[in-house]
Structure 1
Amino acid sequence: MFLPEFGLNQHPQRDALYAELHSRPFQVIPCPARITHIALLSSREERQAQFQHLQNLHQRYGVEPPQEEVSCYEKTFGALRVRRETHMEFTTYTFINLQACEEVCPFDYTGISPLPEGWLAALPGQVVAAFHIALEAARTSVEEDLQLVRPYFEGKRLVGSSPQQGSARVWGSFQLHRDGFGRFMVLNHSMSDSQLGRLTQRLMEIETYRLMSQLSLQLAREISPQLFDMDQQLAVITQALTENQGVDERAILADLTDMAARIEAFRARSTFRFSATSAYHQLVLTRLEELREDELSGHLTIKEFMTRRLTPAVQTCRSVGERLEDLSRRIDRASDMMRTRVELSIQHQNQTLLSSMDKRSQVQLMMQHTVEGLSVVAISYYLVGLLKYLIDALYDSGVAFNKSLVIGAMIPLVLVAVWLSVRRIHHHFMALADKQQAGPKQD
């Protein structure tokens, strides 16, 4: 690389970024030719098995097989050209038979006719798109096309257009035929091999992306009735909350939780599929614009057909996706309302409980004061009894005094002393409790 010579630091992905634009080049296809295009949904394991199956095809033809899988691989085996492209969730195979036999029906001898027997049947993956394209030189006028083309499509209604300002004429039915494949016929008027390759590539992408975009339609149809039922159930719950007539908060919250779980399950199943549908649909519209079609003999063009048939299906999927998101938000709001109601109810219960506890505390405090008064009397009684023994001892030892008067005078003094001691102990513990309570607030 020349950049390091100038002391410039090259980004590690610079070469890959340049190569990405050329990883899927347009093909150069001569006319006449027979083409078969197949798109298969593939898991990672199936994609690896497909690559090994492609290596097996090389071995059958006695050709050195590829050792490393790439996003786009192309190989020619005599008159058969094979192109394999890997995409995010599917793999495409394009088989081009360069030996077109004009003596037979163009769809009897197709792009897969030269393949070894049994090779195609063993190809891993689920087929989504499979169709033949017959490339022929235009030898008739537009008016004579229908008489020539219609028998090849088994009498099915045709869609026709003249892309690239009349350089070719394209006919197709967008339906499956008795061999299980779709069919297109391209009558080349003045296109070069490169232009014909680009036109063919666009047709293959339109049909493939069209089918891939419709994969979510069945899922949308399955989900839609259940969304309607949940919408009605949510409306009933909301109305009950509005009227506030003896609702069971726990039961309603359980119903909302169940609906939220079901919505999340639907979203897990559909989010990727609906997003892919939107992306594939946009690719179809882009390829249709690139065709630059003109109408043929009053037939629907490919763009008109797609706009009429495909767009409503995509809109259905988009609508179901939007309903999922809207219902999810409404359930969340209703759940928040219910949680608020439950929290307010709990707070009211707590206030009632605290009020009851306060009353009980007051009663306990009054009882405590009573007990303290009785305790003072009891302690004073026992203390006077002890002091009486001391007075008796002094009196018996010969000390002269009025024993009854001393004991009587001592009783109120003891009562006061005991009461003051109890009050001091009480105030000490109260101050200690206040200090412990004030400690965390200061921290």
Structure 2
Amino acid sequence: MKDVIRHLDIHPLRDMLYDELHSRPFQVIPSPARITHLALQVNEEQKREQFKHLQKLHELLGYEVPTRETQCYEQTFGELRIRWEKHLEFTSYTFTNLAPASRQDPFSEQGISVLPAGWLEQLPGTVIAALHVAIEDAREAAEPEPNEVKPWFEQMRLVGSSPQNGDARVWTSFKLHSDGFGRLLIYNKRMSDSQLGRLLQRLVEIETYRLMTLLALPVARDTAPILGEMDTQLARITEALAENGAADESALLSELTEMAARIEAFRAQTTFRFTATRAYADLIISRLEELREDEVSGHLTITEFLSRRLLPAVRTCQGVGERLEDLSRRVDRVSDMMRTRVEMAIQHQNRELLSSMDKRSKIQLMMQHTVEGLSVAAISYYLVGLVKYLLEALYGAGVAFDKAVATGIMVPVVLLAVWLATRRIHHHFHELAKTDLSVDELHEVKARKKRHERRN
């Protein structure tokens, strides 16, 4: 029974799907520790270059070089632990300095302090988040007062939180300091190393995701005034169309087409960014709920701070995105109305053209009847001439008759014969026009009709 699964048809992605749930395990973080977290925007080529750069670090430190690139790579080099994660838009590095640290200034030593000189400066990618994290052990020693913490954040206004129902104390400012890094100070009160790792993961994700969320804000601010101008332009076009017949429809249609092209260009440039903003905002809300914060007296919690500062920016991006979609739909409706008016104008022109063609056809028919009358007279004249030659030949052969009388008698006979032949031809073409049959097919139908009449 143990080997029965091997005889079944296994989905080729089954192992990958199992491994995906364990691709980014939480870290185990001791107390105290000094950590530096970096998030870099990269393309696919830069992701490959980063893995080569990570291989170079192994060579510099004298460790075995990894050959297989994974979504999450973690390695400990003595007192240095490195964690590298690949995401859709960015990659993240977590450098953990496990060496003993001084409690005098938690940020005097960082996670990157033990990196080889020059390696970090050559890291491919664009830095979007950079954060120094200092973790202190407060399970035995008392934590400092808020006024003692403030100098370590360069006297910036602090955001304080007691996550996990008070098992830890977190201080941050959500600002960049003089070294170009943000700072996060964590005091571990009653948390295990695994719990501390999960807390750290949530906090650095909040820091990274909030910055990725705000990437759409400059785009929204640049786009909003242009959408306002196009909204006014569309209102003017709609008003012009409402004035019956007073608008230059070709000029308005050209203007609408240009506007629709601009809107599609804006959608192509902003749709992914606005969609990513909503996704990152949802992740931040989820991480904030997982913190289970208690308030620190006199300070905003992380949830309160981000709710007041971040969510309005998210709503701004969402509002601009919805406004762009609404403008696109309105342009489509006005374009449909314009196309309807153009089609109606074309149909009116076609009716006038058909009416004119009908009048010309009637005139041509009257002219044709006149010409046909003249044609009957002309054909009859020539036929009478031929008959006259025939009569003279007969008279010369000895047949006795009055040539003048015979010629006079033949004139009405010839006229009648020519007129009947002309009518028969007209009748034949009228029947052909009423059907979709060719001339040969029409003859065949008539032949079958005659055969049927003879049988009966």
TM-score range normalised by the length of the shorter chain: over 0.9
Separation in structure 2 between the aligned mates of residue 434 and residue 3 of structure 1, nearest angstrom: 81
The answer to whether structure 1 residue 316 and structure 2 residue 316 are counterparts is: yes
SS of 2:38's equivalent in the other structure is strand
Q: Match for 1:182: what amino acid?
A: G
Deviation at 1:346, TM superposition (A): 0.3
1:122-271, aligned counterparts within 5 Å?
A: 122-138=122-138, 144-271=144-271
Q: Match for 1:385: what amino acid?
A: G
Structure-2 change in CA distance of 1:430 and 1:245 (3 Å): closer
Q: Which residue of 1 aligns with 2:423?
A: 423
Cα deviation code 1:293-329 (max 9, x no counterpart): 1111210000000100110011011111111111111
Cα deviation code 1:79-119 (max 9, x no counterpart): 00000000111100000001142165222210001001110
Q: Match for 1:235: what amino acid?
A: A
Asked if the contact 1:237–1:252 (Cα under 8 Å) also holds between the matched residues in 2, the reply is yes
Q: Which residue of 2 aligns with 1:11?
A: 11
Separation in structure 1 between the aligned mates of residue 40 and residue 270 of structure 2, nearest angstrom: 20
Structure-2 change in CA distance of 1:5 and 1:134 (3 Å): closer
Asked if the contact 1:131–1:184 (Cα under 8 Å) also holds between the matched residues in 2, the reply is yes
Separation in structure 1 between the aligned mates of residue 27 and residue 95 of structure 2, nearest angstrom: 12
Asked if the contact 1:29–1:194 (Cα under 8 Å) also holds between the matched residues in 2, the reply is yes
SS of 2:421's equivalent in the other structure is helix
Cα deviation code 1:265-298 (max 9, x no counterpart): 1111111111111011111011111111111121
Asked if the contact 2:432–2:438 (Cα under 8 Å) also holds between the matched residues in 1, the reply is no
Asked if the contact 1:100–1:109 (Cα under 8 Å) also holds between the matched residues in 2, the reply is no
The answer to whether structure 1 residue 283 and structure 2 residue 286 are counterparts is: no
Separation in structure 1 between the aligned mates of residue 334 and residue 22 of structure 2, nearest angstrom: 53
Give the stretch that moved more between structures: 380-389 or 187-196: 187-196
Deviation at 1:425, TM superposition (A): 1.4
SS of 1:318's equivalent in the other structure is helix
Please, what TM-score do these two structures have when normalized by structure 2? 0.93
Q: Match for 2:254: what amino acid?
A: A
Separation in structure 1 between the aligned mates of residue 382 and residue 438 of structure 2, nearest angstrom: 39
SS of 1:369's equivalent in the other structure is helix
The answer to whether structure 1 residue 59 and structure 2 residue 71 are counterparts is: no
Q: Match for 2:375: what amino acid?
A: S
Asked if the contact 1:3–1:10 (Cα under 8 Å) also holds between the matched residues in 2, the reply is no
Deviation at 1:221, TM superposition (A): 0.8
Separation in structure 1 between the aligned mates of residue 261 and residue 99 of structure 2, nearest angstrom: 58
Q: Which residue of 2 aligns with 1:404?
A: 404
Q: Which residue of 2 aligns with 1:96?
A: 96
1:295-314, aligned counterparts within 5 Å?
A: 295-314=295-314
The answer to whether structure 1 residue 435 and structure 2 residue 414 are counterparts is: no
Cα deviation code 1:133-188 (max 9, x no counterpart): 0001237767x422221011111111001111211110000000111000010011
Separation in structure 1 between the aligned mates of residue 273 and residue 161 of structure 2, nearest angstrom: 31
Q: Which residue of 2 aligns with 1:374?
A: 374
Deviation at 1:231, TM superposition (A): 0.6
Q: Match for 1:47: what amino acid?
A: K
Separation in structure 2 between the aligned mates of residue 273 and residue 223 of structure 1, nearest angstrom: 13
Q: Match for 1:116: what amino acid?
A: P
Give the stretch that moved more between structures: 104-113 or 295-304: 104-113
Mark the runs of 5 or more structure 1 residues left unpaired by the alignment: none
Separation in structure 1 between the aligned mates of residue 103 and residue 295 of structure 2, nearest angstrom: 30
SS of 1:93's equivalent in the other structure is strand
Q: Match for 2:292: what amino acid?
A: R
Q: How many positions carry a matched residue from both structures?
A: 438
Structure-2 change in CA distance of 1:3 and 1:212 (3 Å): farther
Structure-2 change in CA distance of 1:250 and 1:282 (3 Å): same
Q: Which residue of 2 aligns with 1:105?
A: 105
Give the stretch that moved more between structures: 374-383 or 393-402: 393-402
Asked if the contact 2:160–2:296 (Cα under 8 Å) also holds between the matched residues in 1, the reply is yes
Mark the runs of 5 or more structure 2 residues left unpaired by the alignment: 440-456
Separation in structure 1 between the aligned mates of residue 245 and residue 354 of structure 2, nearest angstrom: 27
Structure-2 change in CA distance of 1:437 and 1:240 (3 Å): farther
What is the RMSD computed on CA atoms of the aligned residues? 1.7
Q: Which residue of 2 aligns with 1:69?
A: 69
